[in-house]
Structure 1
C-alpha cells in the first residue's frame, strides 16, 4: 500500500444517552483498521455534512437498529492518502465520498448496510472503505459543497427521477434534501410548490427564488394544506411529491398528487402514528398513486448525479446554511435536531 504515515484517528462516537440535555457525542482517539486490506483505501476527511437522520439517530429516534456507540453521519468528502495493493479504480489524491448504503451498488442488491446505523459512519478525520463503495466527487466543488452529495444530494436526485420539464413538484420543508430537490427541480424546468411550518422561512425562499416565483404553503397555519396545493394546481394536483413527513403527511400528500402521479418517500420527520394511515389504501387506489421509498441511491445513481453536476458545473454553496468546525459537532447536531437550518449544515476539518 501507499504509506500515509497515519495510524490513528479522531472520531465522534455516539454516547447513546438519550436523556434530554445530555451530550450525544464523545470525541475519541482510536487506531485505524490497518494495514489496509488489498482493495481498501484510507481517506483524509475534509468535510462532513449532517442530515436530520443523524440527529435523529443521536437522539434515539431511528426506527432501525444501530451499532452501539457507533460513529455518526454518512455524508462526507475527503482525499485518498493511501491505497491497498489491489486497488484499481482509485488512486492517491482522488476526491471521494462513500455511498450511504454500502450494499447498494447497482440497484439490484437484496441486502442493505447503512453508514452510521449498522456500521460506523464518517464523522472522523480519517476513514477506511473498500474502493467498491466509494465514488469520485466533482473536482470543481470545494470540500464543503462536495460533502453534501452522497446522502442529501443523491436522495433528492433519486426522488425526482422521472420528472419532465413543465411538471409540478411539491417539496416539503427547508432541510438539506428539500433544498437540494428545490435546486434540482428549478434547474430541470419544474414548477415548485414548497411547504413549511415557518412563514419566515417561506418568505426567505420566495425572495431567494423569485424568478420564476415558487409557490408556498404553510402546513401549520393551513391544516388542510393539501386542499390549498390542489387549488394552486387548478384542482389537478402536483406530478410528484418529495415526501419527508411520514405518517403525519403521507395521505394528504397523496390527496394533492395528480391521478397517476408519484410520491417519493424520503424521510419521516413528523411523529409517526399508524392511525394517520387509515385512508392510505383507499387513497392509493383512488388516485392511482405510485408510492416509492427512497433510501438515497445506488453507487450508480451517485455516479450519474456527480456526472450531471460536473457537466453543468452546478454550484452548491447556495444551499449551505451553516458551517461548524469539526470540534463543534455536538452543537451542529443539536442545531439540526432543532430544525434551525435552511439547507445543509456541514462540519469542516
Structure 2
C-alpha cells in the first residue's frame, strides 16, 4: 500500500472562549502524526455539523472535553494512504470514522467520543485506526454521506424495533429528527412531528406531503402531549425520538402507548431535574421502555450503510445548507441560532 503522506494539515480548533460574540474556532496548520501499521490517512471531502458541535463550542457540553480540541464527529473522505498491516481498506475507498471509537460491537464498556474525549474531524486530513472506520455507500456523494455516522446512525438506533403501521413522535427539525423522519416514512411508519415554529412545520409538511405529515406546535400548546394522544385516538405513539431532555421527557412518556419506547437522543431543552417529578409514576403506569441512544456501534453503522445501499434512499433532501470549509465559524453560529431545518455540511 502507498505510504506517501502529507506532513501537515489544516484544522479548526476550538478557542474555548465562551464570551458571546467571540470566535469559537481558529484555523490552524499543524503537523500530521505518523501513520501507524494499522492506521489509515483520510482526505476529508465533507464534514457534517450537529447541534452538539455548537453546544461544545459554546461551553455547554455536559461531559468533559479535550481543551482546544477539534470539533465534529461526522465526516466523509477518501483513503489516500494506509499502514502496512491494514486489511479492511484500500487506497480510494470512501470511509468515515465512527463517532465513539471504543464502541465497535456494542459490548464494550468504555467510550471515547470524537470532538470530546479526542480530536474530531474538522480538518482536511485525519488519521484513524482501521478498526474504527466504515465504508460508506457508493451511491451517495460525500455531502450526503457525511451525515451518516452521527445523525444517521442515531436516528437508525432510535427507531430500532419499529414495524410497518406504527406511529412515531419525532421532536424538532434538526439533523437527527429529519433523518428519523425520512427513515420512519421509508419504513412505513406514521410520523407526528413537533416544533415551536409554524414556519418550520409548514416547510416540512410541504416537503413531505405524501402521505400527509401530522404536526404539533408545542410552543402554542403547553399540553402538547394531549394533542398527540388525540391524533392517536387516545392510544399514544409506539416510539418517541426524544430530543428535549427533562423539559419534555415526562410529556413524551404520557403520550407513548403502554409498553411503547422512548428513545432519548438529545438534551436540547433547558435541563431541570424538577421537570422529572412525575417520572417514576408515569414510567411505571405506562410501562414505557426508556432507552438512552448514544449514536451506535461500528456494527450498527455498517448495518445502516448496508440498509442504505440496499434501498438506495437519497439523502440530499436532508441538507439545509452547505458551507465552504473556511466558513466553519459561520456554520457553527447558524447552527447555534437554530436556523437550520436538517443538516449543515462543510465542503472541502
TM-score, normalising length from structure 2? Answer: 0.99
> Aligned pair 1:31/2:63, yes or no?
no
Distance (whole Å) between structure 2 residues aligned to residue 249 and residue 309 of structure 1: 31
Render the CA deviation track for 1:119-164: whole Å, top value 9, x for unaligned.
0000000000000000000011011000000000000000000001
Name the counterpart of 1:2.
Answer: 2
> Aligned pair 1:17/2:17, yes or no?
yes
Render the CA deviation track for 1:222-268: whole Å, top value 9, x for unaligned.
11000100000000000000001000100000000000000000000
Measure how far apart 1:333 and its partner are.
Answer: 0.6
Distance (whole Å) between structure 2 residues aligned to residue 287 and residue 266 of structure 1: 20
Measure how far apart 1:52 and its partner are.
Answer: 0.2
Measure how far apart 1:295 and its partner are.
Answer: 0.7
Measure how far apart 1:214 and its partner are.
Answer: 1.1
Distance (whole Å) between structure 2 residues aligned to residue 160 and residue 278 of structure 1: 27
Instruction: Specify the SS of the correspondent of 1:124.
Output: coil
Name the counterpart of 2:63.
Answer: 64
Distance (whole Å) between structure 1 residues aligned to residue 74 and residue 95 of structure 2: 11
Measure how far apart 1:5 and its partner are.
Answer: 3.6
Name the counterpart of 1:183.
Answer: 182
- Show structure 1 runs of 5+ residues with no match: none
Name the counterpart of 2:278.
Answer: 279
Measure how far apart 1:337 and its partner are.
Answer: 0.7
The number of equivalent residue pairs is: 348
Distance (whole Å) between structure 2 residues aligned to residue 4 and residue 191 of structure 1: 51
Distance (whole Å) between structure 2 residues aligned to residue 151 and residue 271 of structure 1: 22
Paired residues for 1:327-342 under 5 Å? 327-342=326-341
Distance (whole Å) between structure 1 residues aligned to residue 210 and residue 138 of structure 2: 29
Render the CA deviation track for 1:272-301: whole Å, top value 9, x for unaligned.
111101111111101000000001100000
Distance (whole Å) between structure 1 residues aligned to residue 2 and residue 270 of structure 2: 48
TM-score, normalising length from structure 1? Answer: 0.99
Measure how far apart 1:103 and its partner are.
Answer: 0.4
Name the counterpart of 1:129.
Answer: 128
Paired residues for 1:100-119 under 5 Å? 100-119=99-118
Measure how far apart 1:67 and its partner are.
Answer: 0.2
Name the counterpart of 2:250.
Answer: 251
Instruction: Specify the SS of the correspondent of 1:90.
Output: coil
Instruction: Specify the SS of the correspondent of 2:76.
Output: strand
Name the counterpart of 1:195.
Answer: 194
Measure how far apart 1:4 and its partner are.
Answer: 3.4
Distance (whole Å) between structure 1 residues aligned to residue 207 and residue 189 of structure 2: 16
Name the counterpart of 2:73.
Answer: 74
Instruction: Specify the SS of the correspondent of 2:22.
Output: coil
Measure how far apart 1:206 and its partner are.
Answer: 1.0
Is the contact made by 2:3 and 2:83 (CA closer than 8 Å) also made in structure 1? Answer: no
Name the counterpart of 2:147.
Answer: 148
Name the counterpart of 1:45.
Answer: 44
- Show structure 2 runs of 5+ residues with no match: none
Instruction: Specify the SS of the correspondent of 1:152.
Output: helix
Name the counterpart of 2:318.
Answer: 319
Name the counterpart of 1:87.
Answer: 86
Is the contact made by 2:5 and 2:81 (CA closer than 8 Å) also made in structure 1? Answer: no
- RMSD over equivalenced CA pairs, Å: 0.6
Paired residues for 1:209-228 under 5 Å? 209-228=208-227
Render the CA deviation track for 1:185-226: whole Å, top value 9, x for unaligned.
000000000000000011111111111111100010111000
Distance (whole Å) between structure 2 residues aligned to residue 311 and residue 295 of structure 1: 25
